[in-house]
Amino acid sequence: MALSSQEWNSFLAALGPEPGERYEQLRRRLVVFFAARRCAAAEDLVDVSLDRAAKRIAEGVQLEVSVESYVLGVARNVAREEWKKPVVVEMDWGRVAAVPVDSDPRVECLEECLKALPEESRKSIERFYESTGAAKIRGRQELAAELGLDVNALRVRMHRVRAKLEICVGECCDGNEEGKGAISKREF
Amino acid sequence: MSSEKLVRQYLLGELSEEDREAVEDRLFGDADFLEEVEAAETTLMDEYVAGELPGPEKKRWEGYLAAHPKSRDRLALSRLLQVRGRKSRLWWLAVAAAVLALFFFMPKKDAPVVLAVALEAGALRSGTEKVQVVSVKPDVRFVRLRLGAGARATLRFVDSGRIVASSALVDGYLELEAAGLQAGDYVATVMDGQGEEIADFVFRLARLP
pLDDT value at position A181? 58
B76 CB neighbours in chain A (<8 A) are 96, 99, 104, 106
Instruction: Write down the H helix ranges in chain B.
Output: 3-12, 17-27, 31-49, 55-67, 71-105
Please give the DSSP secondary-structure letter assigned to residue A15. Answer: T
- In sequence order, the 6+-apart residues with CB closer than 8 A to the CB of A165 are A110, A113, A114, A117, A125, A183, B77
User: Residue B110 above 60 pLDDT?
Assistant: no
Assembly ipTM: 0.83
Mean pLDDT value across residues A156-163: 93
- In sequence order, the 6+-apart residues with CB closer than 8 A to the CB of B15 are B6, B9, B23
Give the model's confidence band at A60: pLDDT under 50 very low, under 70 low, under 90 confident, else very high.
confident
Question: If phi over 0 gives left and psi between -120 and 50 gives alpha, with beta otherwise, what is residue A110?
Answer: alpha
Mean pLDDT value across residues A103-115: 84
How far is Cα B14 from Cα B8, in angstroms, rounded to an integer? 9
Own/partner contacts of B51-58, CB < 8 Å, gap of 24 or more, are B57/B12
Q: Which of residues 126-165 of A touch B (CB under 8 A)?
A: 126, 129-132, 152, 155-156, 158-160, 162-163, 165
**B79: nearest CB among A32, A66, A101:** A101
Q: pLDDT (tens digit, 9 = 90+) per residue, A137-151? A: 899 999 999 999 999
Instruction: Kindly state whether A80 is in contact with chain B, defined as any CB-CB distance less than 8 angstroms.
Output: no
Full 3-state SS string of A85-153 = CCCCCCCCHHHHHCCCHHHCCHHHHHHHHHHHCCHHHHHHHHHHCCCCHHHHHHHHHHHHHHCCCCHHH
Q: Distance (Å) from the C-alpha of residue B105 to the closest C-alpha of chain A?
A: 30
User: Residue A35 above 70 pLDDT?
Assistant: yes
Give the model's confidence band at B22: pLDDT under 50 very low, under 70 low, under 90 confident, else very high.
very high
Question: Please, what is the Cα angle at B119 between B117 and B121, to 5 degrees?
Answer: 170
Q: Which of residues 21-40 of B touch A (CB under 8 A)?
A: 24-25, 27-29, 31, 34-40
Nearest to B76 by CA among A65, A28, A121, A109: A109
pLDDT value at position B47? 92
pLDDT value at position A124? 93
Q: Which of residues 86-105 of B touch A (CB under 8 A)?
A: 86, 88-89
More confident residue, B173 or B22: B22
Q: Domain coordinates of chain B in residue numbers?
A: 3-103, 113-207
Binary contact (A41, B67; C-beta < 8 A): yes
Average pLDDT for chain B: 83
Own/partner contacts of B24-30, CB < 8 Å, gap of 24 or more, are B24/A33, B24/A36, B24/A72, B24/A76, B25/A69, B25/A72, B27/A29, B27/A32, B27/A33, B28/A29, B28/A33, B28/A66, B28/A68, B28/A69, B28/A71, B28/A72, B29/A66, B29/A68, B29/A69
Q: pLDDT (tens digit, 9 = 90+) per residue, B150-170? A: 888 889 888 888 888 888 888
Give the model's confidence band at A86: pLDDT under 50 very low, under 70 low, under 90 confident, else very high.
low
CATH number of A100-185: 1.10.10
More confident residue, A182 or A13: A13
User: Residue A185 above 70 pLDDT?
Assistant: no
HSE at residue B162, side-chain half, CA atoms within 13 A, is: 7
Average pLDDT for chain A: 84
Cα-to-chain-centroid distance, residue A123: 23
B71 CB neighbours in chain A (<8 A) are 35
| Residue A46 · residue A31 · CB < 8 Å | yes
User: Residue B130 above 80 pLDDT?
Assistant: no
Q: pLDDT (tens digit, 9 = 90+) per residue, B63-74? A: 898 888 778 888
| Residue A97 · residue B49 · CB < 8 Å | yes
User: Residue B141 above 80 pLDDT?
Assistant: yes
More confident residue, B122 or B75: B75
| Residue B187 · residue B132 · CB < 8 Å | no
What 3-state class would DSSP assign to B129?
A: coil
pLDDT value at position A187? 44
Residue B186, beta-bridge partner list: B157, B203
Instruction: Kindly state whether A88 is in contact with chain B, defined as any CB-CB distance less than 8 angstroms.
Output: no
| Residue B185 · residue B126 · CB < 8 Å | no
pTM check: above 0.80: no
Decide if domain B113-207 falls under CATH 2.60.120. no
Please give the DSSP secondary-structure letter assigned to residue B143. Answer: E
**B10: nearest CB among A36, A40, A166:** A36
pLDDT value at position B12? 95
Secondary element (H or E) of residue B199: strand B197-207
User: Pairing mode, if any, of strands B152-157 and B184-191?
Assistant: antiparallel
Q: Distance (Å) from the C-alpha of residue A103 to the closest C-alpha of chain B?
A: 11
Secondary element (H or E) of residue B134: strand B133-136
pLDDT value at position A55? 93
Instruction: Kindly state whether A1 is in contact with chain B, defined as any CB-CB distance less than 8 angstroms.
Output: no
Least confident of A66-70, B12-16, B22-26, B135-139: B135-139
